[in-house]
Amino acid sequence: MKKMKLDARLLAVASLVRKGAYLADVGTDHAYLPVYLAECGRISGAVASDIHKGPLISADKNIREAGFSDRIQTLLTDGLQGIEKYPITDIAIAGMGGLMIRNILEKAHFLRREQTPHLILQPMQHIPELRRYLGEQGFSVQEEKQALAEGKFYQIILAVYDGTVREYTETELLLGKYNIEHKKENKENFLILCERQLEILREKIEGLEKGGRSAEKERALYASIEEERKDL
């Protein structure tokens, strides 16, 4: 079997998995991520979970053909239910909506403990809502990465529970406080992130004002993002 290849999105997710980690890949689909990481010698083991049987059949096939049946297990489950019985150190939840990821985390009480796993989250939408939830629930954002794949721009958040509640501004929720603090180190992606948020806000402002409604809040947010972009 050929070596597993990942697109830029999953490569960015993979890059945040720690060396020697025992990974939980939630919503694994075809188990591409754990198989790739096992081939790279990056993980000690993994559990690949999904809520549907079909993807797990494909996952089992890929795991078996890659020769990692002894290292990667599959689990039919909803979200993180039952995951705590494995020696998990890192959890990847990629390719889901931010609200769905939030709901999965909300039900997993084992995440809020001293030896907390690293959470590697790649939401498809509702990213500000996920950032707000992480802050309110005591999760610290340790790092953020971005990736361009097939013309789409993805954001990946690495978070760890420490129990400290954090409040973010609307600008920090849209852009990510970590990204703002490290924008000069990641200038290219930060500019893309700003431009995409400005585009969304332009459309929203136009729609509100066409309907005779106030866009004062949106205009203030637009100006704030413009300032962040200019300060590079």
How do the domains of the chain map onto residue ranges?
8-166, 168-232
Question: What does the pLDDT look like over 11-31, one tens digit per residue?
Answer: 999 999 999 999 999 999 899
Hey, which CATH number is domain 8-166, 3.40.50.920, 3.40.50.150, 3.90.1150.10, 3.10.20.90? 3.40.50.150
Label residue 114 by pLDDT band (50, 70, 90): low
DSSP codes of every residue in the chain: -PPP---HHHHHHHHTSPTTEEEEEET-TTTHHHHHHHHTT-EEEEEEEESSHHHHHHHHHHHHHHT-TTTEEEEE-STTTTGGGS--SEEEEEEE-HHHHHHHHHH-GGGSSTTPPEEEEEESS-HHHHHHHHHHTTEEEEEEEEEEETTEEEEEEEEEE-S------HHHHHH-HHHHHTTTTSHHHHHHHHHHHHHHHHHHHHHHHHTT---HHHHHHHHHHHHHHH--
pLDDT at 116: 83
Does the predicted model carry a pTM greater than 0.75? yes
Label residue 110 by pLDDT band (50, 70, 90): confident
User: Is the model's pLDDT at 115 over the cut of 80?
Assistant: no
pLDDT at 231: 84
User: Is the model's pLDDT at 1 over the cut of 60?
Assistant: no
pLDDT at 80: 95
